[in-house]
Chains A and B, each alone.
Chain A
């Protein structure tokens, strides 16, 4: 019996040893990989619709593709204020602003993949092909994309470009129908990528047009190695990249839609970087992790219908702005993860004017302004709160309630309207049914015109994006004037005047510019987040 017990004890000891050995394996595993491997695992939130940013606007797709696989002719610098060369080493805009000429780099290689071996380097044919597919409705690759180029269609690119002209192998000219200073911003946006004409021709010969967007070939710092839908995307550095080559061995997108799973994977060291993290305090508590946020190019605002009394009176609008405690909104609705908006332009924009301050929270001032407008007894007002979550306004209903209680102090009786679903809500707002509304705007590129024109110009009343129905001729002529010149200094001066008009007229009250967050291991170095558009791994390294 004693002997048997001894045997059993021995057996148990063996099992225990095996378990301990396995545990030690476990202890080792993550350090092994991180020390031997210069790869980044980015846990992303969704599945890309395509591998070509020309054909989509979804943020997930732009994140995966634009800065990783492709290059544009021009791009933005790190501060995202100045346009700098990319595939074009320089460019020139004629004085009348109608001709934009790009001089291309001569040493740019396309990706070599298992399906395609490029026989030549980048030249003007590739640039013309990339834009011709968007402009020419009879182009086979226009048809293969179903004619859907949402960004280019939203900026009316087809109406602006007369034709794209080849001057020589490395010089290409965009001939415009009219001057438009946003052309450079549009060409520097994440959507204006350059594709390989040679690859497209090869595919066309085999009738495989769809592969152009799904099996990507670009000039970017990474190329696609493998993709398993809903599971992962693996990139490797482009060995012949024209710019600074990435030091990473691999860049892996681990597709993890659940935000809880992403957090778990980060804490368990399986992801190096995760998108849209939750539980910020938990991440901040860990010494090996860091949380970073970047103000996005968006604005959440309270818009007044300036056609409806008493909001047609600018003093009433200003009174409301003074009566709202914005700090409380930022804390309650945005959990202090947004910037206080003083104007419609976020801080990273080059036209941002820090001299303009947001209206101070003061019940006295509000009352005085209301008395001036002859409304010291107050009035009733409808406030429409959007029924959906958006980055610029994560909870419009709570925000509406806060505003309601704020305005009650100055005898304004707010009726919150929230009975409509989103598309009905938008169409009723576009008709001008509302008195005031909580809405917002996310920009496609950092050019300030992308905030001014759609939100507040007279013409955008007709297209439905100006929900304030405010039309000011001086303001509109300033916007038109700004589009005619490509000189940023000159445009800054013009936009400063425009912002002052807005501060004085207050057709809408800017509330917040929300931030985009990301969490990463501290050993991951380099800038990943952009203020607008997709993320960028080209300068990321691992210690």
Chain B
């Protein structure tokens, strides 16, 4: 397990270094002055520019400049946003937690719906139930997310009035930020309207999370179905069956557990897809997350924000990836022996 952990950690560090190199090189690739692209100081005076040039070691070699950039990043200094002139790091701190919340809830939803359905389909292999589940998953996978987003707003917000169409919580509630994760912050607060606020925040997250969750859920259906079918086909299941265990016992004691292991392995891979969907969904639902912020920065040609946003968002995807690897290894001792990271 130690070797496994070290390998994963070294992979993590290496990828992060690659990401910072990419982000650093973007400052050269974007139009305009490289120093201004890095710092975001569009209205800097001569003296300020001289100071900036010194702190980013502009006169030195590219390698030295890269290390200067890295030390700025380490000190949580990603420059200031070109459009708002607020520090990019502060903006990231504000916008990342809502995205974490949305993607996490969507992931849980996708797993909670997709995996059981996949198992059901596998158990009823080649029956009407199987066909129905597969059709459903095909349908869900084919719907474009922006169209689905608009559709659910039309039906559930405008026509039925059940859920709000935008934002994370009604602006009427004042929630003191502690962790940045709204649902948790509400529970931590001592406001008299705590439960109303929680309910309101929950109502806000349901529609966007369902929209984000749909496509991954269909993939989980297929993964879970294949995985369960493999397990049910294996020799130990035949052995268990020969021992006289009922199908129910087989599924509960051996099937689900062993099938889950394979599904968990792919959760990390699905996560990148999920974040991409979340970015589009954040735009549609005016969700105050980092995806929406990044897309708006792209519209405004805010190069500093684009660099910072990409770096943070890709690191986030990668961290989740590594975490699922660890969970997989924890569930499946055989995986710990694997030498190479995936």
**Chain A residues, Cβ within 8 Å of B200:** 29, 32-33
Q: How far is the CB of B287 from chain A (nearest CB, A)?
A: 12
> Chain B residues near A264 (CB, 8 Å)?
153, 157-158, 165-166
Chain B positions 205 through 242: 1 when the CB is less than 8 Å from some CB of chain A, otherwise 0: 01000000000000000000000000000000000000
Partner-binding segment picked from B23-31, B56-64, B112-120, B321-329: B112-120
User: Once the chains are docked, how many angstroms separate the CA of A28 from the CA of B251?
Assistant: 40
* Proximity string of chain A (261-274) to chain B, C-beta cutoff 8 Å, 1 when within and 0 when not: 10011011110000
Cβ A270 vs Cβ B196 within 8 A = no
B203 at interface (Cβ–Cβ under 8 A)? yes
Query: A268 and B158: CB pair below 8 A?
Result: yes
User: What's the Cα separation between A28 and B163 when bound, in Å?
Assistant: 9
> Looking at the complex, which one of B123, B165, B247 makes contact with A270 (CB distance below 8 Å)?
B165
| Interface membership of A377, Cβ < 8 A | no
Q: Using known A-B contacts A3-B248, A234-B171, A261-B286, determine if residue A268 contacts B202 with beta carbons closer than 8 Å.
A: no
Please indicate the chain A residues that have their CB under 8 angstroms from the CB of B164 in the complex. 29-30, 268-270
Are A7 and B116 neighbours in the complex by a CB distance under 8 Å?
Answer: no
Q: What are the 4 A-B residue pairs with the smallest beta carbon separation, nearest first?
A: A268-B157, A26-B162, A268-B165, A29-B203
Nearest CB on A from B163, distance (A): 5
| B288 partner residues in chain A, CB cutoff 8 A | 231
CA gap between A26 and B152 in the complex, in Å = 14
The CA-CA distance from A28 to B228 in the complex, in Å, is 40
Judge whether A229 is part of the interface by a CB distance below 8 angstroms.
yes
Q: Which of A6-39 contact B (CB under 8 A)?
A: 7-8, 11-12, 15, 22-23, 25-30, 32-33, 36-37, 39
Q: Which residues in chain A, 216-271, are within 8 Å of chain B measured between CB atoms? A: 229-232, 234, 250, 252, 254, 256, 261, 264-265, 267-270
20 contacts between A and B (CB under 8 A): A1-B248, A4-B251, A7-B248, A8-B116, A23-B162, A26-B156, A26-B206, A29-B163, A30-B161, A32-B200, A36-B196, A41-B171, A41-B172, A231-B288, A256-B286, A264-B153, A264-B166, A268-B158, A268-B165, A268-B166
Q: Quick one: closest B residue to A225, CB to CB?
A: B174
Q: Kindly list chain B residues whose C-beta atoms are within 8 Å of the C-beta of A230.
A: 84
B116 touches A26 (CB 8 A): no
Closest to A37 in B: B172
Residues of B within 8 A of A28 (CB): 199
Query: Within 8 Å of chain A (Cβ to Cβ): is B246?
Result: yes
User: What residues of B have a CB within 8 angstroms of the CB of A232 in the complex?
Assistant: 171
Count of interface residues, chain A, beta-carbon cutoff 8 Å: 38
Chain B residue, CB-CB nearest to A1? B247
Q: How far is the CA of A32 from the CA of B161 in the complex (A)?
A: 13
Instruction: Say yes or no: A22 contacts B202, CB within 8 Å.
Output: yes
Task: Scan residues 26-67 of chain A and give those whose CB is less than 8 A from a CB of chain B.
Answer: 26-30, 32-33, 36-37, 39, 41
Number of interchain pairs (Cβ within 8 Å): 91
- Closest-by-CB residue of A relative to B159 is A267
- In chain A, residues 284-336, which have Cβ atoms closer than 8 Å to a Cβ of chain B? none
Query: Which residues of A have CB within 8 Å of B189?
Result: none
Task: Kindly state whether residue B273 has any CB partner on chain A within 8 Å.
Answer: no
In the complex, the answer to whether B248 meets A270 with C-beta atoms within 8 Å is: no
- Given the interface pairs A3-B246, A267-B158, the reply to whether A250 lies near B172 with Cβ below 8 Å is yes
Q: Bound complex: CA of A39 vs CA of B173, how far in Å?
A: 10
Contact bitstring A388-418, B, C-beta under 8 A = 1, else 0: 0000000000000000000000000000000
Given A4-B123, A7-B248, A264-B158, 20 extra CB contacts under 8 A: A3-B246, A4-B248, A4-B251, A15-B113, A25-B202, A26-B156, A26-B203, A26-B206, A27-B162, A29-B164, A30-B164, A41-B171, A254-B171, A264-B166, A265-B165, A268-B163, A269-B161, A269-B164, A270-B165, A270-B166
Question: Contact between B166 and A8 (Cβ–Cβ < 8 Å)?
Answer: no
Contact A39 B157 (CB under 8 A): no
Chain B residues, CB < 8 A from A250: 172
B116 and A25 contacting across the interface, CB-CB below 8 Å: no
Complex-state Cα separation, A25 to B156, whole angstroms = 13
Whether A26 touches B171, Cβ cut-off 8 Å, given contacts A3-B248, A15-B113, A261-B286, is no
Quote the shortest CB–CB distance from A36 to chain B (angstroms).
Answer: 7
Tell me the B162-213 residues at the A interface (CB within 8 Å).
162-167, 170-172, 174, 193, 196, 199-200, 202-203, 206
Q: Are A8 and B120 in contact (CB under 8 A)?
A: yes
Instruction: Please name the residue on chain B nearest to A254 by beta carbon.
Output: B171
